[in-house]
């Protein structure tokens, strides 16, 4: 049986999850990373993508997260997401709107750094669309 640890998933609107889990896979800014009980402490920014949570029973729940931070500490993992929505609740319209907003950000960028950041976000959102098609 997997060892469990405390996991908190929080967005500005609400706390989506606060429970003992077996594993969490986070879309980190340096790539996806998995967290199990007793993981070494660290903090990472997160990118738009699919956060996966494995329960004690072994089933996986998936959440679309957009930006924020993951804090791995001795007490477990806390993800503070700019936006977090259970994958089952995501509408294609919401994603299309986010993509349209990102395209506007690219067009409105005043300098290279802003443009690169906006283009990265746009690419990540398109990756999420692809990931959801496979899910």
pLDDT in tens, 51-60: 999 998 899 9
pLDDT in the model for residue 38: 93
**Cβ atoms of residues 80 and 7 within 8 Å:** no
- pTM score: 0.75
The domain that contains 18 carries what CATH number? 2.60.15.10
The DSSP code for 46 is B
Closest of 135, 129, 102, 121 to residue 47, by C-alpha = 121
pLDDT in tens, 97-113: 888 988 999 899 999 99
97 in the same domain as 32: no
**Tally of domains in the chain:** 2
Tokens for 15?
């706390």
61 in the same domain as 43: yes
**Enclosing domain of residue 124:** 91-134
């Amino acid at each position: 049986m997997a060892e469990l640890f405390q996991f908190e998933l929080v967005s500005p609107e609400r706390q989506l999850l606060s429970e003992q889990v077996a594993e969490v896979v986070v879309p980190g800014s340096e790539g996806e990373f998995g967290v199990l009980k007793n993981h070494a402490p660290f903090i990472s920014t997160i990118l738009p993508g699919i956060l996966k949570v494995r329960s004690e029973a072994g089933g996986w729940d998936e959440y679309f997260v957009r930006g924020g931070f993951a804090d791995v500490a001795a007490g477990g993992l806390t993800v503070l997401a700019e936006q977090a929505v259970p994958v089952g609740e995501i509408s294609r319209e919401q994603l299309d709107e986010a993509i349209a907003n990102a395209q506007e950000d690219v067009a409105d960028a005043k300098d290279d750094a802003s443009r690169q950041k906006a283009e990265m976000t746009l690419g990540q959102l398109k990756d999420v669309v692809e990931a959801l098609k496979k899910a």
